[in-house]
Amino acid sequence: MAIIETKPAYYNCSKCPAYCCSIYERVQVTKRDLKRLAKHFAVDLETAARRFTSIWQGERVLRRKADPIFGKACKFLNPDTRQCTIYHARPLVCREFPGRARVRLL
C-alpha cells in the first residue's frame, strides 16, 4: 500500500459559518500568542491573559461566548459576518488550521 500526500485542502472561509471557531471546546494560547494579543490590543500581558483567556484543564485557552448558530464560539468571532475580529493577531493553532495535508491511501 502506497501513501500519497496531496496538496493541502483549500478552505473558502467566506462560505463557512465558522466551524473552526465554534465546534472546538478550546483554542490553545501559547506565551507567544498571548504576547501577540497584548500587542494587538495595546495592553500588558497580565491584562491580555485576564480579558481574553482562561485556564481549561491546566491549559491557557481563548475565552468563548454565546453564539446564535452553535451555542458557543470563540470570543473573537463576529456573529454577524462569521469572521475573526483578530485575524492578524490570532493564535498559532488558528493560523495553522487545518494543520496537515490530506493523505490518500492507494
Residue 106 has pLDDT above 70, yes or no: no
Name the average pLDDT for the chain: 84
Q: Which residue has the higher pLDDT, 5 or 68?
A: 68
Q: What residue type is 22 in one-letter code?
A: S
Taking Cα atoms as reference points, which of 32, 14, 11 lies closest to residue 99? 11
- Give the mean pLDDT of 85-103: 78
Average pLDDT over every residue of 9-23 = 72
